[in-house]
Structure 1
Amino acid sequence: MSWKQVKNDALVACRRNFCLCHLFKDLKMEAHHIIQQSEGGDDTFDNAIPLCFDCHGDMRSYDKKHPKGTKKN
């Protein structure tokens, strides 16, 4: 299955109202690899988590391999 289909399935399954903050985010969501591909993660439903833009930024802002957001100094 393609990552595009996995992302779609994850967003449908959560009904666009589950992420770390548990708020309804409608179209402001994206899917995230739980275990990054660079670390051996695969493009499967079990390795995908739907996150809103804010939670995705908070989760990965300190990862130099997958930066999202700006780290505070």
Structure 2
Amino acid sequence: MNTIENINKKMHVTGSLINLKTIQENFEKINAKDICSEDEKQEIMEFLNAIDTELNSIQEKIGFIRQM
């Protein structure tokens, strides 16, 4: 693997680790909530949407790395 491909792969792996950290933080926020009020349910939905976005980003990075 040439140097540029190797650097590119490492950037995608590092980016995926950042995505995973963001996912963890959002799950921690969800865990701290009591699902009682509509406001809290809405906040949880926002956290779940953020998690979904991060997962999609990881999937894109995995696809890119597999193509290398």
- Common fold by TM > 0.5: no
TM band (smaller chain): under 0.3
TM-score normalised by structure 1 residue count: 0.26
More helix per residue: 1 or 2? 2
Higher relative contact order (CA 8 A, sep 6+): 2
TM-score normalised by structure 2 residue count: 0.27
More strand per residue: 1 or 2? 1
